[in-house]
Amino acid sequence: MLTKTSFQGKLEKTEDLFIPFLVAGDPTPSMTIAFALRLQQQGADVLELGVPYSDPLADGPTIQLAARRALDAGMSLRKAIELVPQLRKHGLTIPVVIFTYYNPVLRLGHDQFFELLEENGVEGVLIPDLPFEESEEIRGQAESKDIEFISLVAPNSEQRIKQIAENAKGFLYCVSTLGVTGGENKMTGESLAFIKKVKEYSPVPVAVGFGVSTNEDVKIVREHADGVIIGSKIIRLIENELDKINSGEKSGALKSFSNSIAELVK
Amino acid sequence: MLQVFPDVKGRFGDFGGKYVPETLMGPLQELEDALDQAMEDQAFHDEYHHVLEEYAGRPTALTYADKISDYLGGAKIYLKREDLNHTGAHKLNNAIGQALLAKRMGKEKIIAETGAGQHGVASATVAAKFGLKCKVFMGEEDIRRQELNVFRMKLLGAEVVSVSSGNGTLKDATNEAIRYWVANCEDHFYLIGSVVGPHPYPRMVRDFQRVIGDESKKQFLEVEQELPNRIYACVGGGSNAMGMFYPFLEDDAELIGVEAAGRGIDTPEHAATLTKGAPGVIHGSLTYLMQDDNGQITEPYSISAGLDYPGIGPEHAHLFQTKRVRYESITDKEALDALRLLTEREGIIPAIETAHALAQAFKEAGSMSKDETILINLSGRGDKDMATLMEHFEEEV
């Protein structure tokens, strides 16, 4: 039974969650706002806003390229966080999780990072290269600011699954297969058993990500988990629209993006 | 006691740790458990030292560089001859240790990253020797710069994977090797070439390289009856330096690590991580690295592909912070001048990486007294650098 309210009470649903991922500033900050609003229209429950990084160890080629595009356009951790009030201004109401690698956070300093998150009304934070053992301080800081620190759990987390899951906040990010983002999703009997085990321990919704790229994948995940996280596939849908965006056909690009998302999560 | 580092969390003081995606925490624990068991097993040590002796050709010589010492007119200069190690550099010591561990763990496939190609060649060599499958990740720019070593690896039966992300150098090759390992960790062993990466790698690589310092200490005491006053080693990731320094950490010898200043530390083109970088996380470890104000990792530059790395081993960061080791930096030009000097006076052509350590030592030797002594880790030979040296010296030679 999931009992905790999450994201400062802004997320009431505890199942059938759709959690899309965008790279902030890919290809421009204003397009990120437009894409985020379309995702909300298509039923997104939480937005993962990715901060582009020079050396994204957990990401495959799709997100690496998106990060490169965004960095070349001048995006940074600070600017990504400051994009959140802009998103709100344009009508985004769902909770936002800032997804960032650890080095930019360290460079900014923990205190300043959390001040920025608080000032800009960010509800959650996810740091993929800060495992449970290294995150004690930051989890404490997040809790004191009422910001959800999202943890990840993987099929080979083994005896650590219980500890990670029991301490999960917001939602628990379940990495379905070993590998980097954007690979193939191989939902085997083993991965379903793993999700079931994670759900037993987790007080918050369990969402599955990594390699979810077709409507079929989405349906299988929905059946077994509380939520689905889609990253690389959404970036590829944006890539498909880059030509249109660059030639000024913004509304056509957004329309075709929305249709693809609707098809993906129907 | 300095030797208690790293602690149980893999920390050297403030540095080190495991800053990796969750999917690597399991494989790192498996590695740590296997390493701990191996290190407590005398049979493992015996096998490692046996291979070092009868295959790699250890112990390597300690050479008194009398001509250079006379020429500089100060301290007596000794060279620890890792260039005489099989495959031409210190890299093989570590590759042998990790390959034996991989076999012990039942992993038949190894992956490795390489910059200059020396660690790639060492990995391909031990793979051939121990019957393992080997895949080497190498940046496309480095593949172009180090054609000869690429061919050597292929001849040894390894697959060389070209990495085009980033600038196509060592940092990018390491990223790609880690990504590949994440997806294939069940049956692959990742053989890291330096004292970098997440715990337990910095400790493991140091322990497989400390043979350099252990041998040096014994050899030095035999010829000089006392320890050297100063010990120099070049530092990219820092494995030859860590291997040399570690057994001397509790002695009086002054230890000097030499980074690459490239075209100068006041230009953006250098690889002087400790001199100019700031603390941060790279390749799974908290250490010093070269980065911009937003925490994005920046691209280093050095004439030597082996020092062209934006990070440094976490134990070096600790030794820098505690001031146990003094870190200096040497430009491309100073390194090339030192390389020429050693070649002409001693008949030894060192690797360009090594020439950085030589240059710093030569700078200081003249102002030391004749009864003082210097030990330089001659980490590798210059055969691999002929194409680069030809570009710089052909007209003069």
Question: What is the CATH classification number for the domain harbouring A70?
Answer: 3.20.20.70
Using pLDDT thresholds of 50, 70 and 90, give the confidence band for residue B3: low
Q: How far apart are CA A227 and CA B163, in angstroms?
A: 35
B179 contacts A60? CB cut-off 8 A: yes
- State how far the alpha carbon of B387 is from the alpha carbons of A211, B147, B382, in Å: 44, 9, 10
Phi and psi dihedrals of A53, rounded to 5? -135, 145
Q: Does B18 touch chain A (CB under 8 A)?
A: yes
Q: Does B279 touch chain A (CB under 8 A)?
A: yes
A57 contacts B26? CB cut-off 8 A: no
B179 contacts A134? CB cut-off 8 A: no
Reported as type and span, the H/E element at residue A126 is strand A124-126
Last residue of a domain, one of B147, B174, B206: B206
**B173 domain-assigned:** yes
A194 touches A206 (CB < 8 A): no
Same domain, B239 and B157: no
Same domain, B238 and B252: yes
**B335 domain-assigned:** yes
A57 contacts B20? CB cut-off 8 A: yes
**A156 domain-assigned:** yes
Q: Does A107 touch chain B (CB under 8 A)?
A: yes
Residues of B in contact with A71 (CB under 8 A): 296
Q: Report the SS3 class of residue B93.
A: helix
B18 contacts A134? CB cut-off 8 A: yes
B25 contacts A102? CB cut-off 8 A: no
Same domain, B230 and B301: yes
**Which chain A residue has its CA at the smallest distance from B296's CA?**
A54
- With a pLDDT cut of 70, the percent of chain B lying above it is 99
- Check whether the bond before B6 is cis (ω within 30° of 0): yes
Residue/partner pairs of A157-161 with CB below 8 Å, 24 or more apart: A157/B22, A157/B25, A157/B26, A158/B26, A160/A132, A160/B25, A161/A197, A161/A198, A161/A201
B287 touches B315 (CB < 8 A): no
Give B 337-396 residues with CB within 8 A of chain A: none
Q: Does B178 touch chain A (CB under 8 A)?
A: yes
Nearest by CB to B19, from A54, A102, A178: name it.
Answer: A102
Give B177 to chain A, closest Cα distance, Å: 10
Q: Are strands B188-190 and B278-282 parallel, antiparallel or unpaired?
A: unpaired
Last residue of a domain, one of B181, B206, B231: B206
**A149 domain-assigned:** yes
Same domain, B113 and B258: no
Same domain, B110 and B46: yes
Nearest by CB to B281, from A60, A78, A106: name it.
Answer: A106
Same domain, B239 and B299: yes
Nearest alpha carbon to residue B94 among B265, B210, B249, B267 = B210
Q: Does B295 touch chain A (CB under 8 A)?
A: yes
**A4 domain-assigned:** no
Q: Domain of B65: which CATH number?
A: 3.40.50.1100
Residues of B in contact with A101 (CB under 8 A): 281
Q: Report the SS3 class of residue B25.
A: helix
Catalytic residue among B32, B82, B113, B334: B113
**A131 domain-assigned:** yes
**B191 domain-assigned:** yes
**A8 domain-assigned:** no
Catalytic residue among B259, B334, B379, B384: B379
Same domain, B271 and B182: no
Give A 46-75 residues with CB within 8 A of chain B: 53-55, 57-58, 60-61, 64, 71
Domain count, chain A: 1
Q: What is the pLDDT along chain A (266 residues), one digit of tens a residue?
A: 555 668 988 998 889 999 999 999 999 999 999 999 999 999 999 999 999 999 999 999 999 999 999 999 999 999 999 999 999 999 999 999 999 999 999 999 999 999 999 999 999 999 999 999 999 999 999 999 999 999 999 999 988 999 999 999 999 999 988 888 888 767 788 888 999 999 999 999 999 998 899 999 999 999 999 999 999 999 999 999 999 999 999 999 999 999 999 999 99
pLDDT, residue B165, reads 85
Q: Number of Cβ pairs closer than 8 Å across A and B?
A: 111
Same domain, B168 and B231: no
- Is A45 catalytic? The answer is no
Residues of A in contact with B165 (CB under 8 A): 61, 64
- Is B91 catalytic? The answer is yes
Q: Does A157 touch chain B (CB under 8 A)?
A: yes
Catalytic residue among A48, A123, A217, A226: A48
Residue B55 has pLDDT above 70, yes or no: yes
**A6 domain-assigned:** no
- Check whether the bond before B200 is cis (ω within 30° of 0): yes
Residue labelled with tokens 């082996």: B306
Give B176 to chain A, closest Cα distance, Å: 8
Neighbour tally for B325: CB within 10 Å: 25
User: ipTM of this complex > 0.90?
Assistant: yes
Domain count, chain B: 2
Reported as type and span, the H/E element at residue A241 is helix A232-246
**B4 domain-assigned:** no
- Is A59 catalytic? The answer is yes
> Which residues sit opposite B350 in a β-bridge?
B381
Phi and psi dihedrals of B306, rounded to 5? -75, -15
Q: Does B8 touch chain A (CB under 8 A)?
A: no
B185 contacts A160? CB cut-off 8 A: no
Same domain, B147 and B202: yes
Q: How far apart are CA B216 and CA B397, in angstroms?
A: 34
Using pLDDT thresholds of 50, 70 and 90, give the confidence band for residue B379: very high
Q: Does A192 touch chain B (CB under 8 A)?
A: no
B297 contacts A54? CB cut-off 8 A: yes
pLDDT, residue B86, reads 97
How would you write B249-282 as a 3-class SS string? CCCCCEEEEEEEEECCCCCCCCECHHHHCEEEEE
Q: Report the SS3 class of residue A83.
A: helix
For the stretch B59-94, pLDDT in tens is: 999 999 999 999 999 999 999 999 999 999 999 999
Give A258 to chain B, closest Cα distance, Å: 31
**A5 domain-assigned:** no
**A9 domain-assigned:** no
Same domain, B126 and B271: no
Which residue segment(s) compose the domain that A178 sits in? Answer: 17-265
For the stretch B190-224, pLDDT in tens is: 999 999 999 999 999 999 999 999 999 999 999 99
pLDDT, residue B1, reads 41
Last residue of a domain, one of B161, B191, B206: B206
Which residue segment(s) compose the domain that B236 sits in? Answer: 57-88+210-393
Give B311 to chain A, closest Cα distance, Å: 12
Same domain, B184 and B297: no
pLDDT, residue B248, reads 98
Q: What is the CA radius of gyration of chain A?
A: 17
Q: Does A153 touch chain B (CB under 8 A)?
A: yes
Same domain, B332 and B281: yes
Residues of A in contact with B283 (CB under 8 A): 57
A149 touches B152 (CB < 8 A): no
Q: What is the CA radius of gyration of chain B?
A: 19
Mean pLDDT taken over chain B? 95
Neighbour tally for B184: CB within 10 Å: 16
**B315 domain-assigned:** yes
Alpha helical stretches, state H, B40-169? 42-51, 66-72, 91-104, 118-130, 140-145, 147-155
